[in-house]
Structure 1
């Protein structure tokens, strides 16, 4: 069958297979009120007496579809005015003294009962704004899509309160329209669901049943009707900030620095929002967990800057955007002579400003634009003989841009167009990447057809421009006890999206398949149980050699006591060829890698208990004499009270006779080493919550990893290795990193925060070192290596609708 006919067949199959009507949905009709509602959890206002009740919740997990027991029934009401919608919930509990209510920081679910409302202003089954409140009054908010799950980096400004009673607990919420997205229609129909979790039993309920036979949640919501003719206010929010930093170390005089700036959020209309940051400050974001990286690829870090994590679901379409590129490390390495040295070399490029516009029309068309500008950055070089200094460019002024169109349809499918563009001032490398991405589901979410086509263009100054592409196609059954899928991918030699994205491999094609089985109802032994089988094969485009060939079997289960047990067997079933470890650019070189077999076990006890434990050993035996990998993670946690808890984690990894690249010889031939590597990671996190808006947090991490080369090797043309007796350079590696953050956070008003942070950190890399753990720990805390930072930051949230009355006459 020709490829184009096959594609059309799959597309038709996805649209029409199993296209029957869905189960009827519950409907709640709300009402308008002019009455002022005080969000206190008491429901004193008259409007609550006549509002319609949503009840009859059904269990989501573990016993999917089971009706909520009467002694723990839930009754929810919704009313609205021109400013917001209001939610009241009476959550009955016949044992109110056992309601779990741990205090935590915002967006941390922890060990507590929860109530949530899920809202979809377009009722398109695609994206939900989810708002949760714990029994201790802690707020959580997330953006949910079936493709990406719950994104807790999104934050909104809303109000809530809880009240523990002798029959259970009450929740009252005020969710401004500014925190939502919906059409401009005079008569609104929204998607709606409610969620409740009784944490001590790990029982989860929803108002409209989310059937676990269906691999989709958002389109299983109920309906909210009755919102009409609302006059939404101007959505203009200003968040000015001011920060003070005190930095110093043993070799540098302590100095202070003030920073200030402003974030702007403006509602262009009911659907689209502009977010902008002017003079950004990210000095209090969480530290990166740096590791000793001996492999051919860069370490990928988590994004911790709020602007690049909040509401970025559109920009993550197609996996083309790695936000850490913006304001990352300089990319140009200037050459210096033997009698020169760097006196200043910035480790990061400053972000000057950034903005994003995102939203969705009433017809389901999502539009996203993100733009950021980073400043010109220079290093300072000193001539040690003459004392003369000069500046050398290490990063020019640069512009980063992303444009996205995402059309949703049929309440469960989408097609997206994405373009990323990177331009640098002057005669330097520029890049452009475009993609078509589709995700198609049958009406009952039984089958899925997804795929993409991505094209990259890199403009290299004084070099040949390069074009590449990356395409994939996947087909699968996504519902029922037994699910399966098959897919393939082709990546060309010159595919490169690394200027604004991150990609580790190119020049390969792959085929893969999977099948799984799960129970949909608890049985005598398990609350949940699933088995997965995954097959994957990958081939180099240029030689046809196998790059990867794996078979994985994984089992996940939850016992009747809500303890998690998981285990698996992972195997590389054939010898394969690694084209990346040799790090050759001009020649095609590869390393032959032997087959292996390994396994793991993961145990996580019930977090509803005061003491819980995570335990995860794993191993890999490689088909080569005395070559193994062992890994162990142990992480106990203890909740001393609802206010105080601590988590300790220890990780040990040992690689025996690991083989990897260490250098090039004089003729640019790769040199390898056989080495033993040990890694120790100790971390401690703790919190003391004064109340639901004020918390002290502690985060400590000591990372130590070293590798000792005991045999130097040369790479032969057939991928095998032969001893090298001439290379004598010491390429052993030893890295110690230390990070400690002690912080205080106070949300003194909605959206307004005072935060105080003391941070000390160090990073020490050595070729000559002692293998004694105490010596390495002391070395990481040596005063010469340790940097200290004390900072205070205040952010204040200003709503234009409130601020405009500050200056008005009485």
Structure 2
């Protein structure tokens, strides 16, 4: 355990070595803007020419934030704020001596392209959360909720508000009208809100702020100015009802003899979403028969390591306010709430007899869902989610012409409760979460958990003007079910209790429950001066299980990590800003085995011409993987070294690009990987833009797992040398007739091809040399039967000892869609969608381009035509 102790000392060094140093920070006075109640209501047309605005004075004196913090901006910005009983009104004047150069880039809502102004309102005045309203010079609106003191920006929030913009000889102007019902605040006689205005001059890549926030400040929302003068505001409890209707026609290749796949389907669906303001800061969201269809398909991916793949949530009901429910307890994607578990595809397929056909639901029906969420004035963040999914049945057509039903998914209830409390003048918080998944198995589904419960506690404390912090969390899980279900959990890829060399865990086939823990502790410096550093520790016990309603990739890990960064924040010479970062981490399992030691050095430069460069290198050693042999013993992976480099051009230009390269090489040439990246964006005129994202990856691995078989009483773990090529490209075309009408095209072909050779079997899985870890089959031991099977005569007695199928593959997926979106009145939309897609296996001897051409032109595709209409009633 000497290396373990050294790793802890490295973390302690990064965290503590600079804490005795005083932070030299600029002391700034909070700016205050005092608004007044309006006399007359202005017209929101982007032109500030009404006498109604004369009620208040202009405020200006903005300070540059980027690239040269603390200096006057190239052009100043002015604003006014007024209010009445229901609305907040804001006028904005962006001065510019060259109005013909103002970037009026059209995009759909939340496009955030071109010249723009963000109005940042911390109506909670919790100094950690803000509502952000954005207007571009083209009049495109955008909205975000900023949380974690500006470290997290969520653009999934779509409130109803009004804005417009206009370019004139002095620059450009904008007007905003924001309903108080879309904000959250308390019931004081006079409101005091955090407030700031941020302007971006796109062609200069320059940002300026009304309330100056030096770059060495640890926070963003907490450092905003203040809006005063809001007197006797009455609670505007939100009430919104949004019914929707969906017409869908599917056309696909018919299957001969299959009555459920005759080539086309037509569906009509409808439902209702509602948002009810219980108080002015807590909201109840309801949905009946929700439409959780996704306009954009998940990206293509192949998991050769056996672990599940994380896909981001794209369904509107779950996306909105998702930050309240998040409980990311460790590094990466691990989270106690992963909303894509709700409404997932059924756990079972149909059990068919010869000649039978089945109609199996693609997703579980969500009978209803409700969310109660918000943040109170006294610092309580609250989130409660309840959802119920139905019993799902496959309809099976029997050979005699009759039909029968077979259950494929049980009735399931999902519950999530989340709370968090700010204290210590908003510098600290303490929170918790509890989730429950309960299935009505009715004596069926012995393979599923009957119930799953998780809980956690999290905290964060900052001090010395938020420069230093300590944060952490701890979680637990408890699952119950039949002996079969818990046995499957113990032997799943994330645990593998059956490993023969894992004497610190116990596989018990009689267990009917499993309880585990996990957590993270981290401390560091996040502001002040030029140094940033942190270090911490993460653990996941072997028994931890979150995947009934959360996301957990693997368990049985203790991770120590440390990071240090030095920042050059003042432009000088040829650069705008730079940073240099060093990272170190080590991973142990709960048996005390060191499974990886890793170091990385990274540098980033933003140049004066707005180009950027990123370069990094690193190495990993002592690498072992407990899950590599899928239940076999611990496996030693060859030590590796890696380098990467990315650079890109000025994103403010009509054409910009990014080029990248990643190279990994291991000892003894066991593993090597080359990854090439090319991304480009092109906007030839304001209404049209296109982007292309290409990635090509070429991997060679002599130790790719193939299968496990028996050789007498001996387990044989068979590996092969895989040549794996993958290529994906994503094309997006956007045309906007105006801020409320857009046409979008999305297309993504994906291909992954793997070809195997040089098969071998594991001899000594932890030997230091690869040649000692495996035995390569010679030509007298391996042959083929002509039917894509390999026959192994290991003892060379001319009798086949075991066999395995040819593992070569070539998977191709094509996804495209064309979407016409019209927001005909604020909050109400009409969609016309055409989606076309196909996926399947191709000849792995073909080239990548030939496989894609075959999939595009020769393979019949599935077409979906969809019309969706929503109408938003607002009180």
Q: Same fold (TM over 0.5)?
A: yes
Cα distance in 1 between the residues matched to 2:189 and 2:774: 73
2:315, 2:613 → 1: CA distance?
34
Contact 2:38–2:84 (CA<8 Å) still a contact in 1? yes
Conservation of the 8 A alpha-carbon contact between 1:764 and 1:785: no
Which residue of structure 2 aligns with residue 163 of structure 1? 166
Shift of residue 22 of structure 1? 6.4
Give the whole-Å Cα distance in 2 for the aligned partners of 1:578 and 1:145: 37
Distance 1:340 1:19, change over 3 A: farther
Structure 1 counterpart of 2:596: 548
Native 8 Å contact 1:21 1:444 kept in 2: no
- 1:567: how far off? 1.0
| Cα offset, 1:19, TM superposition | 13
Match of 1:256 in 2: 266
Q: What pairs up with 1:649-688 in 2 under 5 angstroms?
A: 649-657=693-701, 659-666=703-710, 670-688=717-735
Query: 1:619 — aligned with what?
Result: 663
Per the TM alignment, residue 670 of structure 1 is displaced from its structure 2 partner at its CA by: 4.2
> How much has 1:580 moved relative to structure 2?
1.9
| Correspondence 1:305 to 2:315 | yes
CA, structure 1 residues 351+180, in 2 after alignment: closer, same or farther (shift >3 Å)? Answer: same
Partner of 1:736: 812
2:569 is aligned with 1:559: no
Pairing 1:325–2:341 present: yes
- Shift of the 341–423 alpha-carbon distance from structure 1 to 2, 3 Å rule, reads same
Candidates 620, 635, 648, aligned match of 1:591:
635
**Corresponding residue to 1:532 among 573, 581, 603:** 581
Number of residues paired by the alignment?
Answer: 782
1:401 to 394, 415, 419: 415
Residue 794 in structure 1 maps to residue 869 in structure 2 = yes
In 2, Cα distance between equivalents of 1:64 and 1:758? 47
Give 5+ residue unaligned stretches, structure 1: 801-810
Equivalence for 2:191: 188
Shift of 1:668: 7.0
Of 309-318 and 341-350, deviating more is 341-350
Contact 2:187 2:234 in 1 (8 A): no
Report which stretch shifted further, 249-258 or 84-93. 249-258
The equivalent of 2:367 in structure 1 is 352
Contact persistence 1:633–1:652 (CA under 8 A): yes
1:68 Cα shift? 2.8
Counterparts of 1:668 and 1:325, CA distance in 2: 35
**CA–CA distance in structure 2, aligned partners of residues 84 and 264 of structure 1:** 22
Q: What are the Cα deviations for residues 644-703 of structure 1, in whole angstroms up to 9, with x where unaligned?
A: 121122211000125332333258764332211001112211111111111111111111
In 1, the alpha carbon distance for the partners of 2:693 and 2:147 equals 31
Matching of residue 522 in structure 1 with residue 543 in structure 2: no
The one of 198, 205, 208 aligned to 1:205: 208
Please tell me whether the aligned partners of residues 58 and 206 of structure 1 are also in contact (alpha carbons under 8 angstroms): yes
Which one of 753, 774, 778 corresponds to residue 829 of structure 2? 753
2:688 aligned with 1:644, yes or no?
yes
Deviation at 1:209, TM superposition (A): 1.2
Shift of 1:211: 1.7
Correspondence for 2:280 among 270, 273, 285? 270
Tell me: CA distance 1:28–1:669, structure 2 relative to 1, closer, same or farther (3 Å): farther
Q: Verify the 8 A CA contact 1:514 1:534 in the aligned structure 2.
A: yes
User: Which of 85, 90, 94 is matched with 2:88 structurally?
Assistant: 85
Q: Is the 8 A contact 1:120 1:192 kept in 2?
A: yes
- Residues 703-736 of structure 1, C-alpha deviation per residue, up to 9 Å, x if partnerless? 1111111133333463433335423411112110
- Partners of 1:684 and 1:700 within 8 A in 2: yes
* Structure 2 counterparts to residues 86-101 of structure 1, below 5 A: 86-101=89-104
Alignment pair present for 1:27 and 2:32: yes
Q: Secondary structure at the match of 1:499?
A: coil
The alpha-carbon distance between structure 1 residues 669 and 373, as it changes in their structure 2 partners (threshold 3 A), is farther
Deviation at 1:340, TM superposition (A): 6.8
Is 1:280 equivalent to 2:290 in the alignment?
Answer: yes
Alpha-carbon distance in structure 1 between the residues aligned to 2:235 and 2:822 = 30
1:670/1:389 CA distance change after superposition, 3 Å: farther
1:808 is matched with none
Partners in 2 of 1:467 and 1:22 — Cα distance?
A: 50
Distance across 2 between alignment mates of 1:41 and 1:187: 29
2:453 to 426, 429, 432: 432
Distance 1:264 1:563 in 2: 46
RMSD (Å) for aligned C-alpha atoms: 2.6
Q: How is 1:122-137 mapped onto 2 (pairs within 5 angstroms)?
A: 122-137=124-139
Tell me how far 1:443 sits from its aligned partner.
4.5
Alignment correspondent of 1:722: 775
> Secondary structure in 1 aligned to 2:696?
strand
3-state DSSP of counterpart to 1:603: strand
Q: Which residue of 2 aligns with 1:603?
A: 647
SS in 2 for 1:616: strand
Say whether residues 1:775 and 2:846 are aligned partners: no
Distance change (3 Å), C-alpha of 1:389 and 1:295: farther
Counterparts of 1:340 and 1:397, CA distance in 2? 29
**CA separation of 1:342/1:571 partners in 2, compared to 1, >3 Å: closer, same or farther?**
farther
In the superposition, the TM-score normalised over structure 1's length comes to: 0.92
The two structures have a TM-score, normalised by structure 2, of 0.86
* Alignment-derived partner of residue 59 in structure 2: 54
Shift of 1:521: 0.9
String of CA shifts for 1:726-782, please: whole Å, max 9, x gaps.
23411112110001111111111100111111110011035x533223431233235
Contact 1:124 1:412 survives alignment (8 Å): no
Cα distance in structure 2, aligned partners of 1:56 and 1:414: 34
SS at match of 1:218: coil
| Counterpart contact for 1:340–1:383, Cα < 8 Å | yes
Q: Does 1:699 align with 2:715?
A: no
Residue 561 of structure 2 aligns to a residue whose secondary structure is strand
Worse-matched range after superposition: 46-55 or 718-727: 718-727
Could you say what secondary structure the match of 1:506 adopts?
Answer: coil
Structure 1 residue 61, shift from structure 2 partner: 0.9
Moved more, 668-677 or 35-44: 668-677
Q: Give the equivalent residue in structure 2 for 1:460.
A: 481
Distance 1:483 1:534 in 2: 12
Is contact 1:377-1:396 (8 Å) kept?
yes
Give the unaligned 5+ runs of structure 2. 1-7, 255-261, 329-334, 484-510, 767-772, 783-791, 793-802
Tell me if structure 1 keeps the 8 A contact 2:39–2:55: no
Question: What residue is the counterpart of 1:497 in the other structure?
Answer: 546
1:210-265 deviation per Cα after TM superposition (whole angstroms, max 9, x unaligned): 22102321101111111111223341111111111110112133232111111101
Change (3 A) 1:340 1:546: farther
Tell me which residue corresponds to 1:690: 737
CA contact 2:294–2:315 (8 Å) conserved in 1? no
Secondary structure of 1:497 counterpart: coil
CA distance in 2, matches of 1:612, 1:658: 39
Deviation of residue 548 (structure 1)?
Answer: 2.1
Q: 1:626, 1:550 → 2: CA distance? A: 18
Q: Which moved more, 1:748-757 or 1:43-52?
A: 43-52
Aligned ranges 1:115-126 → 2 under 5 Å: 115-126=117-128
Range moving further from structure 2, 458-467 or 433-442: 458-467
Instruction: Describe the SS at the equivalent of 2:181.
Output: helix
Contact 1:763–1:785 at 8 Å: present in 2 too? Answer: no
Between the aligned partners of 1:758 and 1:794, the Cα distance in structure 2 is 15
Q: Rate the CA distance shift 1:550–1:683 in 2: closer, same or farther, 3 A.
A: same
- CA distance in 1: counterparts of 2:152 and 2:590, whole angstroms: 34
